[in-house]
Amino acid sequence: MKLITASILPKVIRKRPTKSFKGTYGKVALIGGNRNFGGAIIMSTLGTVYAGAGLTTAFTDPSNQTSLHNWVPEAMFADYQDQMHLNQLLPTMDVISLGSGLGTDDQDLQLIKLVFSLVSSHQVLLIDGSALTLIAKEKIPLPAATIILTPHQMEWERLTGVKLADQNPKTNQQAYNQLSINNSHLIAVVKSAQTEVFTPMGAFQNTTGTPAQAIGGMGDTLAGIISGFVAQFHNVNEAVLAAVYSHSAIADQLAQQQYVVLPHQISEALPRFMHEHQAD
Ligand SMILES: NC(=O)C1=CN([C@@H]2O[C@H](COP(=O)(O)OP(=O)(O)OC[C@H]3O[C@@H](n4cnc5c(N)ncnc54)[C@H](OP(=O)(O)O)[C@@H]3O)[C@@H](O)[C@H]2O)[C@@H](O)CC1
Ligand SMILES: Nc1ncnc2c1ncn2[C@@H]1O[C@H](COP(=O)(O)OP(=O)(O)O)[C@@H](O)[C@H]1O
Ligand SMILES: [Mg+2]
């Protein structure tokens, strides 16, 4: 297993060309955040916007609209139960992130099915949180698209059947290979204290990260940052690796002076971190 080190950053994070506009940097839809988990979609949206995605829309429960705009006015809001709006907007997106704080009710399951039916092969679909739990439980096949799965270890167990205690680079690789049989463009970010990333170009282990990150919303934030990187940087595999590295590298830096690192602090530190690591 190869290591993800700082050398990934200048490969991925490029100086922005002068002749560019917001459309150059990608359109992202983030779908999730029920009445109880509004924070999840807000943290995810912060990650995407602060990573530099050109246009970001959060599809969420209407009860989250005011808080979302207080935290991140750069993002647009849409009601995730508005099927017409989903039908209209999702086909225009470059990246769709589904599941952070979604919940596991029947209406959430119907929403996942609708999104899967709307996604097309040129788009990237990131699947996180409750959406992973539901597709594992209901055995929903993944659509034809570039798919990024971001499970924590219990979600990975639900998806693959590999028990948490048995998870290691070898069993995880076997499970990834099995999942890839029906999808040749699959990336699995298996999150833990030493996150492993499985891609069609090989398997990688992250070298950054701290227990100061063990707090709710940390994975929601990562899903947002990955979406923002993939929206604007062209090699999807490398963009995911750079996002995973950056998320935890910033946490390492903050943890030098903080007992715990709050997820939104990572997003807020991201533009400066990317500035420091951009290449010509
Ligand atoms: N502020 C918000 O709005 C927030 C909203 N959130 C949203 O909530 C939704 C549910 O997501 P979830 O991860 O909280 O719950 P679930 O999928 O049931 O997994 C937990 C179960 O697995 C077990 N477990 C064992 N190992 C584990 C591991 N390494 N990492 C994690 N869990 C591990 C664990 O064991 P225990 O802790 O009980 O010992 C427990 O039994 C999802 O949509 C998410 O986006 C959250 O992000 C929080 C902030
Ligand atoms: N001890 C740790 N060391 C490094 N990273 C950690 C540690 N604990 C948790 N993390 C990171 O925090 C995130 C947790 O993801 P997840 O459980 O999905 O969070 P949530 O759903 O609450 O947002 C992952 O990116 C994981 O790698
Ligand atoms: Mg999570």
Residue 135 CA neighbour count, 13 Å, CB half: 27
Taking the centre of ligand 2 as the mean of its atom positions, its distance from the CA of residue 152, in whole angstroms, is 7
Mean pLDDT for the stretch of residues 9-21: 97
Place 7 in a pLDDT band, splitting at 50, 70 and 90: very high
Mean pLDDT for the stretch of residues 19-32: 97
Q: What is the pLDDT of residues 136-186, one digit of tens each?
A: 999 999 999 999 999 999 999 999 999 999 999 999 999 999 999 988 899
Position 253 scores a pLDDT of: 98
Report the mean per-residue pLDDT for the chain. Answer: 98
Place 24 in a pLDDT band, splitting at 50, 70 and 90: very high
Distance CA 97, CA 7 (A): 26
Chain-centroid distance of CA 183 in Å reads: 18
Taking the centre of ligand 1 as the mean of its atom positions, its distance from the CA of residue 205, in whole angstroms, is 22
Whether residue 121 has pLDDT greater than 90: yes
Position 228 scores a pLDDT of: 98
Position 184 scores a pLDDT of: 85
Mean pLDDT for the stretch of residues 231-257: 98
Largest CA distance in the chain: 51
Place 5 in a pLDDT band, splitting at 50, 70 and 90: very high
Q: Which of 36, 37, 221 most suits a substitution to test ligand 1, by most atoms within 8 Å of the C-beta?
A: 37
Distance CA 144, CA 186 (A): 10
Q: What is the pLDDT of residues 191-234, one digit of tens each?
A: 999 999 999 999 999 999 999 999 999 999 999 999 999 999 99
Whether residue 276 has pLDDT greater than 90: yes
Helices (H), 203-235: 218-232
Q: Which atom of ligand 1 is nearest to the CA of 219?
A: 47
Q: Which of 43, 152, 192 most suits a substitution to test ligand 1, by most atoms within 8 Å of the C-beta?
A: 152
